[in-house]
Structure 1
Amino acid sequence: MEKPQPVVVKVVTPEDREEAYRIRIEVFVTEQGYPEEGEIDHYDAVATHLILVFPTSDTPRRAYGTVRMVTLPDGTGKLGRLCVAAKLRGMGAGALLVRALEKEAKEMGLSAIVLSAQVHAKGFYEKLGYGFPDGGVEYMDDGAPHVKMAKTL
């Protein structure tokens, strides 16, 4: 019997939203040491959220990854809060989330995706077709080096 494969679903229920928040806290706060008080912010109320789940009869669903997108006034989407549970890293789960978010953005009529990547993750985004609109200048954000990246849809 084949192992079940993860799927990406749009967050539409309060339970799914709580799962998105739970995995973010697990990765960004517990693993990476970012402060918890800034993890859930005012953008969460207006963002499109996706979660990575395994199709089961579990209720509520358990998220193993998440990503969000905030629609910007210029008609682009800002990708943020991408994270995947440690046991699924390096297996394509992050790419699955990003591709699903790009599809969602296209369906919304957005022209591009922009993001602020942690420097250690820029290679991941480059493999998915993201470039450096400002030449790859590094800057500090929440105490960690970041770089701006973008992809035209």
Structure 2
Amino acid sequence: MTESTLISTEINSDLFKDIKKIRYDVFVIEQECPEEEEWDEYDEKAKHLLLKINGDSVGCARWRKIYYPDYQGNMDCDVIKMERFAVLKQFRGKNYGKELVKKVVQEIYQKTNIEQNTDYPLFMINAQQYVEKFYQSLGFETDKNIPIFYEAGIPHVRMIIPKDTIKNLYFSN
């Protein structure tokens, strides 16, 4: 039986060493992103999450609250921005990526009491374009108001998931 645990941690914890290794291996080594772009000023303020499967550190993500100007051309709002999703190569193809996204979304939704908090109507991610369909399968929609853009030389799309979709997809029995 597989034991899956999502652990919330801060940048100065021992567990962050595992997150740093995952991000380094995936983004810097595999995807050849410049190391100076991988580590940024947001790491200090972000909440970091580590997925462990049977005790092994397999994936990670981070999230933070940000301001999203002119969402859908008609409103300004605060959003939860999820970033730096990564699963180590040796653990791919086992649905751990989907498990990571689901657990992260559920964790943030519950921790921030998002259902009662009208200031945060949606979650957002800047997804690498090649995984756009993966995130769509998890309820995310591509924000067509934002053209394809590049981060670290890799094409990205802005994707969102409204809190009502999260409630219906991730918490319905």
If the length of structure 2 is used for normalisation, what is the TM-score?
A: 0.77
CA contact (8 A) 1:111 1:152 kept: yes
Deviation, 1:149, is 0.5
Aligned to 1:130: 140
CA drift of 1:50 comes to: 0.8
- Contact conserved, 1:49 with 1:66, CA < 8 A, in 2? yes
1:128 counterpart SS class: coil
After TM superposition, give the deviation of residue 136 of structure 1 in Å: 6.7
RMSD: 1.8
What are structure 2's unaligned runs of at least 5 residues?
A: 68-76, 115-119, 164-173
SS at match of 2:94: coil
Consecutive aligned runs of 4 or more in structure 1 exceeding 3 Å deviation: none
User: Does the CA-based 8 Å contact 1:70-1:78 persist in structure 2?
Assistant: yes
- What amino acid maps onto 1:40 in structure 2? W
Q: Higher mean Cα deviation, 127-136 or 34-43?
A: 127-136
Secondary structure at the counterpart of residue 64 of structure 1: strand
Question: Would you say 1:51 and 2:45 are equivalent positions?
Answer: no
Q: Tell me whether 73-82 or 119-128 shows the greater mean CA deviation.
A: 73-82
Instruction: Tell me the CA shift for residue 78 of structure 1.
Output: 0.7
State the partner residue of 2:5: 7
Aligned match of 1:59: none
Determine the C-alpha separation between the residues in 1 that align with 2:153 and 2:95: 27
Equivalent residues in 2 for 1:1-153, closer than 5 Å: 2=1, 4-12=2-10, 14-56=13-55, 62-73=56-67, 74-107=77-110, 108=112, 109=114, 110-134=120-144, 137-153=147-163
From the two aligned structures, give the one with the greater strand fraction: 2
What is the deviation of 1:55?
Answer: 4.1
Is the Cα–Cα contact under 8 Å of residues 8 and 96 in structure 1 kept in the other structure? no
1:105 Cα deviation after fit = 2.3
Q: How far did residue 133 of structure 1 move?
A: 2.0
**In 2: Cα distance, 1:120 partner to 1:136 partner:** 16
Cα deviation for residue 135 of structure 1 reads: 5.2
Q: Is the 8 A contact 1:50 1:97 kept in 2?
A: no
**1:47–1:87: structure 2 CA closer, same or farther, 3 Å change rule?**
same
Name the count of aligned residue pairs: 146
Question: Shift in Å at residue 7 of structure 1?
Answer: 2.2
Question: Structure 1 unaligned runs (5+)?
Answer: 57-61
Q: TM-score scaled to structure 1, two decimals? A: 0.86
AA aligned to 2:154 is: A
